Amino acid sequence: MNNETLKNNPLICDIETGMCETTDSISESTSGNKVSSDKKSIRIIYYTDPICSSCWGIEPQLRKLKLEYGDAVEIDYRMGGLLPDWNYNSGGISSPSDVASHWDEVSIHYDMPIDGDLWLEDPMDSSYPSSIAFKAAQLQDNQKAISFMREMREMMFLKKKNMAKWENLAIAANKVGLNVEQLKTDFEGKAKGLFQEDLKLGQELGVRGFPTMFFVDDAGNQETVYGTRPYAFYEMAILKLNPNATKSEYSKNWENLFSIYPTLTAKEFSELSGTPRSDSEKQLNELVEKGKLEKHTTKNGSMWTIKNLNH
């Protein structure tokens, strides 16, 4: 794929910067003060997009951040609008099929399961429907909205479901316990305006790609981390703003981790449990053999789910 294609297609994420970029590239972290914090000592304004493969790549670090610094930080999920439609481009990409092999490469790079064949079998025409659905979910319940985002991504990256289709959004919403009728009403109404507000704020903050995280303290001081980075980058941003932020200890055994996060990839399990990556898959597979977990395998890796055991 030539450089022109890379430049013009936001779905082709730059593995070097760890970003799906909408315009020129930017440095990996900067300081400033543009936005204000709220309740917890640090607010993270997280600009993401449901179909952004680099944002899927950041899940292990993000899940660990919530476990270790959840008491100190409030994460404010904002939608960035990665793919309005296929007409945005002045050349450089001919069709969604260009994205298929790229997603397979990204999967290997981030060690997170992604099946790029979605773009050959049932390509999405836009990331706006899933973004608006997420804003609709936030109107109901913020925690369920985050579970909904995860479910949408699992359906898309692992099960090749087109998340621009309402029937698939409804399946994801139902699974995480959202009121699907209410979601549809908000999806067709209020949520569109909220999505536009996110896009507007993103422009004001200079968001050019995803993931982008703005860490903001009570005084409005800001640290920004661009792209999918090792865990230390996010931890450093918190500690720069609040050197007294204390890390929560959590139980790293598999039962506790799966009770918090019912689905985990081998990379996530390794990051959260401290198990070397070379051993994490073996350990998860042994739990499958013992009947404790179920395994969903794709051509580029697997995901493990806790079995619904009746105690």
The per-residue DSSP string of 227-264 comes to SS--HHHHHHHHHHH-TTPPPPP---SHHHHHHHSSEE
The model carries a pTM of 0.89
- pLDDT value, residue 38: 44
Q: Please list the residues that pair with 217 across neighbouring strands.
A: 42
pLDDT value, residue 311: 40
Instruction: Assign 2 a pLDDT band (cuts: 50, 70, 90).
Output: very low
Q: Give dist(CA 74, CA 141) in Å, integer.
A: 15
Confidence category of residue 309, pLDDT binned at 50, 70, 90: low
Element housing 47 (H / E): strand 42-48
Spatial separation of the C-alpha atoms in residues 161 and 119, rounded to whole Å: 10
CA distances from 113 to 158, 178, 197, 279, 311 (A): 6, 26, 32, 17, 31
Helices 190-205, 128-140: axis angle to 10 degrees equals 110
Longest Cα–Cα distance in the chain: 58
pLDDT in tens, 32-76: 544 544 457 899 999 999 999 999 999 999 999 999 999 999 999
CA distance 60 to 76: 18
CA dihedral 59, 65, 70, 72 (to 10 degrees): -140
Between CA 93 and CA 82 the distance in angstroms is 15
Residue 140 has pLDDT above 50, yes or no: yes
For 85, counting Cβ atoms within 10 Å of its Cβ (0-12 exposed, 13-18 middle, 19+ buried), the class is exposed
Position 201, amino acid = L
50 with 153: CB under 8 angstroms? yes
Q: CA-to-CA distance for 197 and 200, rounded, in angstroms?
A: 5
Rounded CA-CA distance 75/12 in Å is: 26
- Residues 6 or more apart in contact with residue 286 via CB below 8 angstroms: none
Question: What pLDDT sits at residue 158?
Answer: 98
106-135 residue pLDDT tens: 999 999 999 999 999 999 999 999 999 999
